[in-house]
Amino acid sequence: METPHNKLKTGDICVLGAGPAGLACGWAMEKTGNTGYSIFEKSSVHGGNARTVNHNDFLYDTGPHRFHTRNAEATRRISELMGEDLHSVDAPARIFWQGRFVDFPLRPSQILKNGGFLYTLKAARDLAISRTIPSRNDVCDNFSRYARSRFGRTIAETFLIPFSERLWGLPGEELSPDIAGRRLPGFSLLSLLKETFLGSKNSDHLEGRFFYPNRGYGQISDRIAECLDPRKLHYNHRVVGIETKEDYIASLEINTDSEKVIIKPGFVINTLPITAIVSMMNPRPPEEVMRAAAQLKFRDVILVALFIDQPYISDAAVTYFQGSEYEFSRAHEPRNRSLAMSPEGKTSLVVEFPCFRGDDVWSCNPEQLTNRLIKQLDKMGLINGSSVFDSDVLRLENAYPVYFKDYIQVSEIVLSFLRTFKNFSTLGRGGSYFYGHLHDFISEAFDVVSAINQFKSQPQKTHYPN
């Protein structure tokens, strides 16, 4: 339900974007009794790039999302919100390597099985060298150097570097070591030797346990949206202009289906890409800020969902493809997260193509891309191409920020400028140029709203805090 344009109030808190971060801000305001807010979403749906798509009798997520319990407060909030609709999933993540599934993060015993004894010895030797002999340059200023120094040349160049280059769209030497994140914990020389020579399988580096909603990850966004006053959530409202005056946001220009609306906000909470925000500002931000914004990149993604007439493909929560010969980076089988995602006796496979708008993959005809994918997966032996009876193609813009080597310094130039506006705050993947997850943004949203509410209660304050 839309609020008539003439009821949009001057002085409201305006939230830009109804993805997980924007919805969490509205949720936090409802929880604290703050009804003076509006959320503006350019599309006709909420959830951003973390929603669930309904295709005939199938459900699939816009990526292999999972809810980890890394933040106790966010976990408590989501658990209370979802109740019995949230369950635990214990399924492995895997790499497809030489025609077999290999556990990811890497399990040494399967390196031996797939790579052979000589390959495993070479990997063990390189790993030992990387851990015991200091590098000529101890500063790992790019991901390739980090991967080789942490895991040895063999493992780095077989798995980590080629996969990361396709995922992020830049050579490993141009990527920040920060992209390693938490994805590569626990792989050690000791575990490699124990599994190779003693047959031990007690290494703790296998990832796979997480929480997941019964009807897809987007059910979390749906449930949060249900907590909001529907009159506060405005679909098909695209922000096209931002007027600034000294140190505050003076007005927002918003396009609807039928007209342009000018709103004078009391406070703005942004979750849109910061590159888009500065490009809409009038007066134009300083040239240093605009040059920095021009260096920031967001990776786009094409999802190809294949609907398959067979009960299952594998037991993996997600499968990664590290070879440079692949255009796609990973795939997930939704039914391995919840049986409600596919009809009985059938399954689906959602394959992710990371790209930039304008790339050959992005511009490819959907039918051609799908047919090419089916042939390649069939040739790999991952699926029987003749069992695919339907498909769907979805394009996701600005899926995640690219962590190039100097991204922290460059993004900070833009973020520092935005912090000069007293009635403006920014969060989310696009809004903070941070590859965060739902638990991060829930926690941040409640912190931001708490600070705004505290300052709102002080009448001597002209603007809210940032």
Q: Do domains 105-203 and 298-401 have the same CATH topology?
A: no
The pLDDT assigned to 267 comes to 94
CATH superfamily of this structure's domain 5-48+72-82+216-296+405-456: FAD/NAD(P)-binding domain (3.50.50.60)
Domain 298-401's class?
A: alpha beta
Q: What is the pLDDT of residues 194-251, one digit of tens each?
A: 444 444 454 443 446 899 999 999 999 999 999 999 999 999 999 999 999 999 999 9
Write phi, then psi, for 172 (nearest 5 degrees): -55, -30
- State in words which class domain 105-203 has: mainly alpha
Least confident span in 99-108, 257-266, 433-442 = 99-108
Q: How confident is the model at residue 7 (pLDDT cuts 50, 70, 90)?
A: very low
Domain limits, the chain: 5-48+72-82+216-296+405-456, 105-203, 298-401
Q: Residue 10: pLDDT band by 50, 70, 90 thresholds?
A: low
3-class DSSP string for the chain: CCCCHHHCCCCCEEEECCCHHHHHHHHHHHHCCCCCEEEECCCCCCCCCCCEEEECCEEEECCCCCECCCCHHHHHHHHHHHHHHEEEEECCEEEEECCEEEEECCCHHHHHHHHCHHHHHHHHHHHHHHHHCCCCCCCCCCHHHHHHHHHCHHHHHHHHHHHHHHHHCCCHHHECHHHHCCCCCCCCHHHHHHHHHHCCCCCCCCCCEEEEECCCCHHHHHHHHHCCCHHHEECCCEEEEEEEECCEEEEEEEECCCCEEEECCCEEEECCCHHHHHHHEECCCCHHHHHHHHHCCEEEEEEEEEEECCCCCCCCCEEECCCCCCCCCEEECHHHCCHHHCCCCCEEEEEEEEECCCCHHHHCCHHHHHHHHHHHHHHHCCCCHHHEEEEEEEEEEEEEECCECCHHHHHHHHHHHHCCCCCEEECHHHHHCCCCCHHHHHHHHHHHHHHHHHHHCCCCCCCCCC
What is residue 19's predicted lDDT score, i.e. its pLDDT? 97
More confident: 31 or 127: 31
